[in-house]
């Protein structure tokens, strides 16, 4: 490869990435997921588009996609709170195993009928497109205010369901490639157990080892992120070499490191954020380059029917059966989880497996997977937040600081600097600093007024547009943001958690006396409000859970360590109107 070719390659790649970044700002305006923009840029640059780039290297695509997926899952694991596993682990595990198997089977039956394939070939297609995609889910859910039960279930499911899809795909390819192969129940169980078992062991053991190395070394700030990134990818490859799921391993590595005090944690997350965006762009660009849109036209109608059959029938049925033992999920939450069965890079990567194995009809499998991914991103991804609103699984947006930065005071420091700008309507404007009820252990370290640094004291009176720099920890964020950030704008958002708030330790009988509730039995009155929530919702309530009891709407308004602390009581609209007159 000469210098001219190398420079041409650099120029083409850089221009495509720049174009993807520039076009990404239009994704929200036109209502399509940002990943679809990257995919379309790749298709436009391909041989059927104006770019006319002929690209058919499936091995390179497999290499790039796996590397990118490892980076995305490492970042996703680091940003997942381990506390959310208490709420969502078992539902997620059910969806990641039973759900994927059911989706693959039902989709496979439809594929066999629609494309006139054998039953085994059809189920292979179902296995390829059967799992939700972590890259798509993490990208589309990032920054969205879903309730913890739904958001955590979707994120954990997408991070852990690939082993089942890989297991099914590899097993079916072996059967189709060597029809005489005997795959007994013991072999299948051993193969499945290896995927999950080795993937889990390497994930947690490797995560602990990498975390220990990071905390014991004294390096330049920029090297910690490189160490975590390279270590995560190395363990991803090591797990695959042992026969485990590297995808599961790298997610668990991120989860372990992200939930422990880690040296340079904020710097690591900042670098990973940029690397994740680059990985998503490159991965979807390459996948877009690989496909030839003209070849999709021949299968458009049956592939469209398969995609909608999976979205409307296979995924919902598998979700409802997978979540059957978990009564804490409401009907609307189950429908929403069903809708967010996003397909993305993983199905396309799995569709490369038959190509590399040299199976007949491998190109057909790839084209079907690509078509299903496009429909999923457009239909499900493009309507995600509208459906979330209809399903009532969103929470009012949390007030947040305008900036937050890690403060590396000592190794594994968890201190951060939160920056707030006071709006005129905040109650604290006009009050001296000494009257603020700030969380214990937090301090105002600097104050700016009209771009001038002040030296505040307890008697300093706050003014509108003052900028405060507050030293605190992540656990203090909610309290500080309520104190200093902009309040919810709409009246509906302000009333989301109720008109009155009650201590969850109060007995029901006391509340019934205050609000004139007629209790059916004496036992009802002996319960605390916290026990009432458990009775109506289940063992793991989350913020925003609501239920109707004795014709009154009750909302979980505050939770601490997964225990309900406050319950909101929502007055009927008519009652509120009468009280206002």
Q: What 3-state class would DSSP assign to 426? A: coil
Task: Find tokens 């991120």 and name the residue.
Answer: 254
Output the pLDDT for position 538: 79
User: Among 40-44, 165-169, 214-218, 572-576, where is mean pLDDT lowest?
Assistant: 572-576
Question: What is the chain's alpha carbon radius of gyration, rounded to the nearest angstrom?
Answer: 26
- Tell me the pLDDT band of 525, cut-offs 50, 70 and 90: confident
pLDDT for 276 beyond 70: yes
- Per residue in 78-112, pLDDT (tens digit) is 988 888 888 889 999 999 989 999 999 999 999 99
- Taking the C-alpha atoms of residue 199 and residue 176, their distance in angstroms, rounded to an integer, is 26
- Taking the C-alpha atoms of residue 178 and residue 239, their distance in angstroms, rounded to an integer, is 26
- Taking the C-alpha atoms of residue 423 and residue 487, their distance in angstroms, rounded to an integer, is 9
Alpha helices in 117-220 (DSSP H): 119-128, 134-141, 148-160, 162-177, 185-216
pLDDT for 53 beyond 90: no
pLDDT for 580 beyond 60: no
Output the pLDDT for position 117: 92
- Taking the C-alpha atoms of residue 422 and residue 448, their distance in angstroms, rounded to an integer, is 11
- Per residue in 495-513, pLDDT (tens digit) is 677 777 888 888 888 887 7
- Tell me the pLDDT band of 578, cut-offs 50, 70 and 90: very low
User: Among 111-115, 460-464, 480-484, where is mean pLDDT lowest?
Assistant: 480-484
Cα separations in angstroms, 155 against 125, 201, 228, 554: 24, 20, 21, 27
Output the pLDDT for position 208: 96
Output the pLDDT for position 99: 93
* Exposure string for 224-263, b = 16+ CB within 10 A, e = fewer: bbebbbebbbebbbebbeeebbbbbbbbbbbbbbbbbebb
User: Is residue 499 exposed (0-12), middle (13-18) or buried (19+ Cβ within 10 Å)?
Assistant: middle
- Per residue in 213-270, pLDDT (tens digit) is 999 988 888 899 999 999 999 999 999 999 888 888 999 999 999 999 898 888 899 8
180 or 407, which is more confident? Answer: 407
User: Among 107-116, 135-144, 326-335, 524-533, where is mean pLDDT lowest?
Assistant: 135-144
Q: In what side-by-side order are the strands of the sheet with 452-454?
A: 403-406, 415-421, 467-473, 443-449, 452-454
Q: Sign of the CA dihedral 65, 155, 386, 102? A: positive
Nearest partner of 262 among 230, 233, 219, judged by Cα = 219
Cα separations in angstroms, 336 against 147, 329, 557: 12, 10, 22
* Continuous segment of H or E residues that includes residue 549: strand 546-549
pLDDT for 487 beyond 70: no
The average pLDDT across 440-468 equals: 89
Q: Sign of the CA dihedral 114, 183, 251, 94? A: positive
- Tell me the pLDDT band of 318, cut-offs 50, 70 and 90: very high
Cα separations in angstroms, 417 against 95, 174, 268, 403, 458: 39, 54, 17, 8, 20
Output the pLDDT for position 1: 62
pLDDT for 544 beyond 80: yes
- Per residue in 323-343, pLDDT (tens digit) is 998 888 989 999 999 998 888
Output the pLDDT for position 85: 85
Answer yes or no: are the C-beta atoms of 36 and 378 closer than 8 Å: yes
Going by C-beta distance under 8 Å and a sequence separation of 6 or more, which residues neighbour residue 433?
A: 444, 456, 457, 458, 459, 460, 462
The average pLDDT across 488-495 equals: 54
Output the pLDDT for position 183: 57
Neighbours of 574 (CB within 10 A): 8
Output the pLDDT for position 181: 59
Partners of residue 558 on adjacent β-strands: 566
Output the pLDDT for position 212: 94
pLDDT for 146 beyond 60: yes
Determine what percent of the chain is predicted with pLDDT higher than 70: 93
- Per residue in 122-133, pLDDT (tens digit) is 999 999 998 888
Neighbours of 288 (CB within 10 A): 26
The overall average pLDDT reported for the chain is 85
- Per residue in 147-157, pLDDT (tens digit) is 889 999 998 99
Structure tokens that stand for 242 in this block = 């042992």
pLDDT for 492 beyond 70: no
User: Among 134-143, 176-185, 348-357, 466-475, where is mean pLDDT lowest?
Assistant: 176-185
Output the pLDDT for position 576: 44
- Per residue in 365-386, pLDDT (tens digit) is 999 998 999 899 889 888 888 8
Determine what percent of the chain is predicted with pLDDT higher than 90: 28
- Tell me the pLDDT band of 119, cut-offs 50, 70 and 90: very high
């Amino acid at each position: 490869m000469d210098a001219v070719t190398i420079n041409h390659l650099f120029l083409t790649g850089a221009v495509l990435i720049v174009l993807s970044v520039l076009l990404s700002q239009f994704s929200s305006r036109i209502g399509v997921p940002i990943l679809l923009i990257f995919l379309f840029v790749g298709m436009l640059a391909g041989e059927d588009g104006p770019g006319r780039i002929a690209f058919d290297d499936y091995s390179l695509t497999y290499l790039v996609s796996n590397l990118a997926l490892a980076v995305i899952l490492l970042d996703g694991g680091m940003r997942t709170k381990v506390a959310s596993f208490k709420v969502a682990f078992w539902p997620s595990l059910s969806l990641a195993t039973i759900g994927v198997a059911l989706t693959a089977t039902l989709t496979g039956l439809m594929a066999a009928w629609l494309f006139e394939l054998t039953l085994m070939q059809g189920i292979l297609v179902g296995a390829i497109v059967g799992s939700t995609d972590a890259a798509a889910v993490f990208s589309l859910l990032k920054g969205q205010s879903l309730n913890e039960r739904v958001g955590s279930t979707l994120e954990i499911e997408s991070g852990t369901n690939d082993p089942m899809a890989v297991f099914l795909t590899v097993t079916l390819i072996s059967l189709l490639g060597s029809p005489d192969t005997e795959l007994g129940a013991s072999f299948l169980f051993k193969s499945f157990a290896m995927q999950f078992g080795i993937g889990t062991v390497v994930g947690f053991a490797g995560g602990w080892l990498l975390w220990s190395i990071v905390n014991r070394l004294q390096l330049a700030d920029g090297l910690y992120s490189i160490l975590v990134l390279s270590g995560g990818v190395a363990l991803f490859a090591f797990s695959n070499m042992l026969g485990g799921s590297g995808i599961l391993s790298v997610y668990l590595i991120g989860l372990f490191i992200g939930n422990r005090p880690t040296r340079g944690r904020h710097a690591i997350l900042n670098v990973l954020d940029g690397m994740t965006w680059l990985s998503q762009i490159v991965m979807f660009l390459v996948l877009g380059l690989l496909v030839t849109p003209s070849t999709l036209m021949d299968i458009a109608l049956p592939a469209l029917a398969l995609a909608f059959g999976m979205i409307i029938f296979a995924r919902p049925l598998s979700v409802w059966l997978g979540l059957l033992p978990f009564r804490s999920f409401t009907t609307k939450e189950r429908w929403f989880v069903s809708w967010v069965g996003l397909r993305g890079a993983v199905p396309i990567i799995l569709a490369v497996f038959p190509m590399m194995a040299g199976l007949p009809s491998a190109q057909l499998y790839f084209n079907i997977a690509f078509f299903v991914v496009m429909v999923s991103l457009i239909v499900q991804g493009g309507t995600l937040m509208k459906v979330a609103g209809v399903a009532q699984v969103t929470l009012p947006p949390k007030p947040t600081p305008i900036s937050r930065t890690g403060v590396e005071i000592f190794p594994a420091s968890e201190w951060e600097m939160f920056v707030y700008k006071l709006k005129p309507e905040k109650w604290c404007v006009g009050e001296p600093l000494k009257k603020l009820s700030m969380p214990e252990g937090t301090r105002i370290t600097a104050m700016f007024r009209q771009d001038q640094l002040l030296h505040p004291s307890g008697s300093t009176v706050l003014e509108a547009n003052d900028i405060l720099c507050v030293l605190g920890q992540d656990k203090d964020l909610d309290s500080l943001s309520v104190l200093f950030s902009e309040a919810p704008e709409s009246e509906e958002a302000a009333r989301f958690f109720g008109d009155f708030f009650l201590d969850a330790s109060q007995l029901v009988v006391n509340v019934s006396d205050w609000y004139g509730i007629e209790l059916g039995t004496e036992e009802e009155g002996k319960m605390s409000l916290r026990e009432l929530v458990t009775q109506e919702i289940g063992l793991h309530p989350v913020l925003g859970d609501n239920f109707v009891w004795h014709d009154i709407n009750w909302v979980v308004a505050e939770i601490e360590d997964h225990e309900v602390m406050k319950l909101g009581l929502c007055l009927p609209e008519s009652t509120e109107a009468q009280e206002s007159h």
